[in-house]
Chain A
Amino acid sequence: MMRKLERHARGKRPNFYDTPGMDDAMAMILVLANELSVVRDRLDTVERVAAAKGIMLDAEIEAYEPDQAVLEAREARRQDFLSRLFYLARKQAAELASGDSAERYQGALDDIAVN
C-alpha cells in the first residue's frame, strides 16, 4: 500500500487577517491559482508537443474561427461559470427577493421541532 506522507508542519500556524475565514480563503485562492497555472502550462506543452510533430496548434488556434453553434456553446458556458462564481451574491439577492431571512429560518426550526 502506498505510504501516506505527513502534510502538515508542526508549529501553530499564525493568522494574518482580522476577518475570520480570510486566511482560509486566501489559501484556497492561491491553490486554485496554482492549479490554473498547471493547466496553462499543460496546454502550452500540448501545443509544443504537437508542433514538434508538425502540427502547428498555435497557428491553427489563432486562425480558428468559431461558428455560430460554438459561439453559443461558449457564451452559455461562460455565463454558467460566472453564475457559479457569483453564487453567494446571487443567493443573497434571491433571499432578499423572496423575503427569506435568518429569522424565518430559526422560526422554521422552532416550528418543525414541535409541530
Chain B
Amino acid sequence: MDMLNTFQQHQHAALPRANHDERARQEFTKSLKQFVQQGLLPGLGPVFQNRAAKAFEKAHGRPPADRWDIRKAMVPDLYFQHYAATNRIAQEILWESVIGSIERQLPELEAATKALSAASAGAVESSPDFAVPRYVSAIDIHCMPGGYASEAHGDDIVQGALYDRGVYLYAMGYMGPNNDDMGRSVCNYVTRKLDGFRPSRILDMGCTVGHSTVPYKELFPDAEVTGIDVGGPCVRYAHARAKALGQDVHFLQRSAEDTGFEAESFDLIVSHILLHETSGQAMPRVFRECHRLLKPGGYMIHADLPPFDLMDPFTQFILDNETYYNNEPFWGAMRDKDQIRMAADAGFPESSIRFDTAPMAIMEFAAANESYTEDAAEALADREFTAGEYAPGGGWEVLIAQKAA
C-alpha cells in the first residue's frame, strides 16, 4: 500500500507561520508531489517499455541505448508529458504558496529572526559586497524564485525563510520535522563508522539555512560548529533558526571554493547536497579547499548524488529530468564526474576515498513529532531505491575521504 504522508514541519520560532488557507495551499503542493511520486512515476517504466521504446525503435531502426535515447523516446509521449508537466507545476505552485505567506507576515518574521539572532552566542557574518558565484546567481536553482542570494537589503532573510518552509514541502517531510535527516544521518555515520573519531571543529559547506548543520552541534555539543554559504539571506536566517532550535552556531557568508579560513582549521568538513549545485570548475576547487582546511587525519564527507555509472540508463534518464526541468544545471554533469579521482587529485590518499551509505536516521528522532507515525517513518527508511523519488530508500549516499595523518 502507498504510504499515507501526513508529515508536518516543526513550527520553530524563526519559521514563517502559515494561516489556515496558506497552510492548506502548501499542504496540497506536498500532496501533489507525493501523488506524482506514488501515482505517476511508477507508470513511466511500462510507458517506456511498451510504448515509447517501440516508437523509438520504429523511427530509428534500433532500440534506445542510453539516457539520451530514452529521453528522445519519452519526451514526445503524452504520459511522460503529463508526468513532467505536473512535477514542474507542483514545484512552481509550491514556492508560490510559501512566498505569499511570507509576504503577508514579513515585518513580524523580520522582527522574530532579528531577536533570535541577537540572542545567539554564535557569530554571523555577511556582506552586500560578497561576490556570489555564477553557478548560483545565473539560474534560480530548483525553481526557487530569487534563488539563495537575492536580497533587498543587508538584513534580508526572505530567501532563507522561503527555503526552510519550501524545502520541507519539496522533500515532502522526508528529511524530518526540522529538515535535518541528512545531517543527523551523517552524524550517526561519523559516530558509528569512524572508529571513535570525535570531531572538535566542524565545518558545514553550502549550509543554506543550517538545517543539516544544527544536528552536529546537538550531537557533538563540545565541538565548534560553523556553517558557510554564498547566500547572505540564508546565513542570516540560519543563525536565527539555529537559536530557535536552542543552538549557538556560527554562520558565515563564504564560498566553499575559497573559504578564507587558515589551513588545518577543521577536523571534520561536511556538505549536504552542495556539490551538484556547484560547477565543473568549482567542484575540484571545493575538494582541494577541504584538503587544505583539514587537520591531518581529518575527514571530508559529502552527502550528495551517486555517479551515473552505477545506474542503468532508464534510472539515469529519470534522475536527469531534474537537469532539464527543475533548474538544476549541474545535476546531470556532476553525476558523470569521477569523484574518487577528483578527491585523489585534491590530495586525499586513494585508499581513504570511498562511496558509502549513511542510513536514514529518521526512525531515531521523528517519533518525537506525532505526525511522523512509526509506520510512515519505517516505510520511508525501508524503501528500495527508486529513481525520481525525493530521497533514496535506505540512506544517503556519502563520499568520504580522510586526509593523511
B245 at the A interface (CB under 8 A): no
User: Which residues from B are CB-within-8-Å of A42?
Assistant: 20-21, 24
B99 (CB) vs chain A CBs: closest residue: A5
How many Å lie between the Cα of A4 and that of B82 in the bound state? 32
Partner of B145, one of A3, A6, A14, A17: A6
Contact A3 B88 (CB under 8 A): no
A29-63: CB near B (< 8 Å → 1, else 0) gives 01101110110011001000000000000000000
Contact A16 B24 (CB under 8 A): no
Contact A10 B138 (CB under 8 A): yes
How many Å lie between the Cα of A41 and that of B30 in the bound state? 14
How many Å lie between the Cα of A6 and that of B140 in the bound state? 11
A42 → B minimal CB distance (Å): 6
A29 (CB) vs chain B CBs: closest residue: B89
How many Å lie between the Cα of A95 and that of B88 in the bound state? 37
- Interface size of A as a range: 20 to 34
Partner of A23, one of B85, B96, B138, B144: B85
Partner of A41, one of B27, B95, B324: B27
User: Which residues from B are CB-within-8-Å of A34?
Assistant: 25, 28-29, 32, 93, 97
Interface centre among B81, B97, B144, B150 (most CB of A within 10 A): B81
B309 at the A interface (CB under 8 A): no
Contact B27 A6 (CB under 8 A): no
B139 at the A interface (CB under 8 A): yes
Interface centre among B32, B89, B152, B158 (most CB of A within 10 A): B89
User: Which residues from B are CB-within-8-Å of A14?
Assistant: 88, 324-325
Interface centre among A2, A8, A35 (most CB of B within 10 A): A8
B32 (CB) vs chain A CBs: closest residue: A30
B76 (CB) vs chain A CBs: closest residue: A18
B39 → A minimal CB distance (Å): 14
How many Å lie between the Cα of A2 and that of B139 in the bound state? 26
How many Å lie between the Cα of A41 and that of B106 in the bound state? 25
A9 and B81 contact, Cβ closer than 8 Å, known pairs A34-B28, A38-B25 = no
B102 at the A interface (CB under 8 A): yes
A38 and B24 contact, Cβ closer than 8 Å, known pairs A7-B96, A26-B89 = yes
User: Which residues from A are CB-within-8-Å of B144?
Assistant: 9
19 A-B residue pairs with Cβ-Cβ distance under 8 Å, sorted by A, are: A5-B99, A5-B106, A5-B145, A6-B145, A7-B145, A8-B145, A9-B139, A9-B140, A9-B146, A9-B147, A11-B327, A26-B82, A26-B85, A26-B86, A30-B86, A31-B93, A37-B28, A37-B31, A38-B28
* Inter-chain pairs besides A5-B145, A17-B85, 20 sampled, C-beta below 8 Å: A5-B102, A5-B106, A5-B146, A9-B95, A9-B145, A10-B327, A11-B139, A11-B327, A14-B325, A16-B84, A16-B85, A16-B88, A26-B82, A27-B92, A30-B86, A31-B93, A34-B97, A37-B27, A38-B21, A45-B20
Write the residues of chain A forming the contact surface with B, with a CB cutoff of 8 angstroms: 2-11, 13-14, 16-18, 23, 26-27, 30-31, 33-35, 37-38, 41-42, 45
Write the residues of chain B forming the contact surface with A, with a CB cutoff of 8 angstroms: 20-21, 24-25, 27-29, 31-32, 76, 81-82, 84-86, 88-90, 92-93, 95-97, 99, 102-103, 106, 138-140, 143-147, 150, 152, 158, 324-325, 327
